[in-house]
Amino acid sequence: EVQLVESGGGLVQPGRSMKLSCAASGFTFSSFPMAWVRQAPTKGLEWVATISTSGGSTYYRDSVKGRFTISRDNAKSTLYLQMNSLRSEDTATYYCTRERGFDYWGQGVMVTVSS
Amino acid sequence: DVVLTQTPPTLSATIGQSVSISCRSSQSLLHSNGNTYLNWLLQRPGQPPQLLIYLVSRLESGVPNRFSGSGSGTDFTLKISGVEAEDLGVYYCVQSTHAPTFGSGTKLEIK
């Protein structure tokens, strides 16, 4: 059974950093590009970043470029999102998902940016 | 960025009624490899999204066949033939032919 389990969320002050993790199991993690998608409270879904299977290629939405870094450890079957210089508009539930079709999603982790 | 315009924003249906949701793209979603990367997701209340349809019209494993997808280029439709109570939630189209973008969602309510 495919499982994606996010962790690392919580309350953080504006300008500070936070790192999210997503532990994958039930499939060959290294064979799938992965993505982070977020959803602000009561809002729709918004793609954040994608990483290729090897980690050699990464892609970001404009509003997080230079602040967020997506990475992966294929040996640990784990996806990461390092978020720096956080802003109130980054407040959202963050989901990790398999970017090939968006076919499996984690339960999500809430990130609240507030003083 | 590719903009996906979903209509209607809300739908109210009775059990057994058939409904359709439209998703129109600001650019063609036909990839140079011949595939069209347009999927449909359902997000039930308090749950993460789940995949219903991929590559425009292919039914994800385990999804009831009352769901169907159609379209090409910039114009796509999700149809539910005989709504059931468990179908309530928000439906999103998503494209990944270009940098991924999601539609704004269609909320399905059961009368």
- Answer for the pair B67, B77: CB distance below 8 angstroms, yes or no: no
Name the residue among B8, B25, B48 with its Cα closest to residue B101: B25
CA distance A49 to A54: 15
B10-13 and A3-7 beta bridge pairing: unpaired
CB B97 within 8 A of CB B1: no
For residue range B18-34, list pLDDT tens digits in order. 999 999 999 999 999 99
Residue type for position B3? V
Residues 6+ apart with CB under 8 A from B10: B106, B107, B108, B109
Closest CB from B48, B96, B101 relative to A105: B48
In B, minimum Cα distance to A60 occurs at B99
Residue A100 confidence class, pLDDT cut points 50, 70, 90: confident
A28-87 pLDDT tens trace:
999 999 999 999 999 999 999 999 999 999 999 999 999 999 999 999 999 999 999 999
A46 contact partners, CB below 8 Å, separation of at least 6: A37, A38, A39, A40, A61, A92, B102
What does the CA dihedral A41, A47, A52, A58 come to, rounded to 10 degrees?
Answer: -100
Interface contact flag, B48 A50, Cβ < 8 Å: no
pLDDT digits (tens, 9 = 90+) for A5-34: 999 999 999 999 999 999 999 999 999 999
pLDDT value at residue A101: 87
**3-state secondary structure (DSSP) of residue A105:** strand
Q: How many CB pairs (< 8 A) connect A and B? A: 50
Question: Is residue A81 within 8 Å of A24, Cβ to Cβ?
Answer: no
CA–CA separation, B92 vs B21, rounded Å?
9
Provide CB contacts within 8 A for A19, sequence distance 6+: A8, A80, A81, A82, A83
Q: What is the pLDDT of residues B26-78, one digit of tens each?
A: 999 999 999 999 999 999 999 999 999 999 999 999 999 999 999 999 999 99
- B7, B60 Cβ separation under 8 angstroms: no
Which position has the token pair 């290729």?
A52
**CB-nearest partner of B39 from A95, A101, A104:** A101
